[in-house]
Every structure is written in structure tokens, then in C-alpha cells.
């Protein structure tokens, strides 16, 4: 049994007869009254995100997980297939468990957390940023680098991202996987 002081981002817990992954938390110590922890929990079975508040010292049922690096192979409907590079075992994960599947390209390495009790995959964490190529966008305007204006662009995975006006088709960009935002253009 763990307590609220053990809460951290990525921790998997049993709550309301389901398994949740903590995606955000904030320890709050108000001037009056007892301390508490405000959390955002994501269900690993349905993908639904809920807000919950735990009082300080509340016992939580943490789940023991192992994290392994897997390589993304391909998508089949709502199932995403991954391979462990150490023993070449393959697993498939439902789209609801993945944080930003539209930014994942074949060959990408992700960290997959697996429940040690039953061997089921609980979550897949992508790297902080990925490099993707622009496949479609309006032509870039030379010299338009000072404004914050953006235009829609489609990347090689099919995701739509807003990029600055100077970005052209064929450019490679770095994308934040957490928010799905443009970070910078990659020069070769």
C-alpha cells in the first residue's frame, strides 16, 4: 500500500475497480484545513480521463509495473502492434491506451508499462518529441519568420499540425508529443 506522498506522474493505481495512470498531480496545502492531492487519472482500459482529489495520507493501491522499450511496427484498425527489441515478442495495444498515436511513425521506440500481475500492457509513453516530415501544406512565404501566424500542415503519419508560414512540403519538423505542437524546423 502506498500513500498520497508516493503519487507521481506515470504511477498506475487501482481505483474504483479499474486501473488508472496518473497523468497530472498537484500537492495542495491550503492555509486552513488539511492538505490534499489533486490528480488527473487516465483509465488504461477505456482511455477516459477523470479528475480526483485525495486527502493527505490517503492509502492508494499502487500496481507493480515493468517498463520495456518496444518498437512500433504497424497499425491494424484500432490495434497498434509493437515488438520488444530484446526478445522479439510482439504485443498489440488498443488505440485508447496510447497518448498520441497519430504522431507515431513505424520504427519509433516507445516505453510500454506492463502489469507484472497479469502481463497486460497498461500504457505506452512516447519520447518527448518526434521528427516528422511535412507531406502537405500551402507553399511557404520567404521572409515570414517574425510573425506568430500559422497554417495547417499534414505530416507523414497523417496528423494535422499548425506550423509557421515559412514551412514547406518536404521540411522535417520536431513535434512535441505531449501537446502535438510544432517545436522547430530540422535542418539537414
106 falls in which pLDDT band (50, 70, 90)?
confident
β-bridge pairing 150-155 and 49-55: unpaired
Residue 145: predicted pLDDT: 62
Q: How far is CA 175 from CA 2, 5, 75, in A?
A: 35, 33, 21
**CB 105 within 8 Å of CB 117:** no
Residue 14: predicted pLDDT: 87
For the chain, which domains are there? 2-62 (2.30.30.30), 65-125 (2.40.50.140), 129-186 (2.40.50.140)
pLDDT tens digits, one per residue of 128-175: 888 888 888 888 666 666 667 788 888 888 888 888 888 888 889 898
| Share above pLDDT 70 across residues of the chain, in percent, rounded to a whole number | 96
pLDDT tens digits, one per residue of 38-95: 999 888 777 788 898 988 888 888 888 888 889 989 888 888 899 988 888 888 888 8
**CB 110 within 8 Å of CB 160:** no
Question: For 173-183, b where at least 16 C-beta lie within 10 A, e where not — what string?
Answer: bebebeeeebe
Residue 163: predicted pLDDT: 87
Residue, of 115 and 41, whose pLDDT is higher: 41
Phi-psi region of 116 (alpha: psi -120 to 50; beta: other; left: phi over 0): alpha
Residue 146: predicted pLDDT: 62
**For 175-185, what is the mean pLDDT?**
85
Report d(CA 33, CA 19) in Å as an integer: 30
Residue 144: predicted pLDDT: 61
**For 121-134, what is the mean pLDDT?**
84
Amino acid at each position: 500500500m502506498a500513500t498520497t506522498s508516493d503519487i507521481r506522474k506515470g504511477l498506475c493505481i487501482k481505483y474504483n475497480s479499474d486501473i488508472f495512470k496518473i497523468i497530472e498531480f498537484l500537492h495542495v496545502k491550503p492555509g486552513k484545513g488539511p492538505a490534499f492531492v489533486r490528480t488527473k487519472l487516465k483509465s488504461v482500459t477505456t482511455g477516459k480521463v477523470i479528475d480526483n482529489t485525495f486527502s493527505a495520507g490517503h492509502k492508494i493501491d499502487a500496481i507493480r509495473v515493468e517498463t520495456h522499450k518496444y518498437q512500433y511496427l504497424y497499425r491494424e484498425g484500432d490495434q497498434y502492434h509493437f515488438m520488444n527489441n530484446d526478445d522479439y515478442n510482439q504485443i498489440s495495444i488498443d488505440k485508447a491506451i496510447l497518448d498520441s498515436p497519430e504522431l507515431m511513425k513505424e520504427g519509433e521506440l516507445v516505453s510500454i508499462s506492463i502489469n507484472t500481475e497479469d502481463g497486460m500492457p497498461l500504457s505506452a509513453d512516447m519520447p518527448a518529441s518526434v521528427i516528422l516530415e511535412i507531406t502537405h501544406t500551402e507553399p511557404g512565404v520567404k521572409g515570414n519568420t517574425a510573425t506568430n501566424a500559422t497554417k495547417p500542415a499534414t505530416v507523414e503519419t497523417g496528423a494535422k499540425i499548425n506550423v509557421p508560414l515559412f514551412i514547406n512540403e518536404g521540411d522535417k519538423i520536431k513535434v512535441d508529443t505531449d501537446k502535438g505542437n510544432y517545436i522547430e524546423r530540422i535542418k539537414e
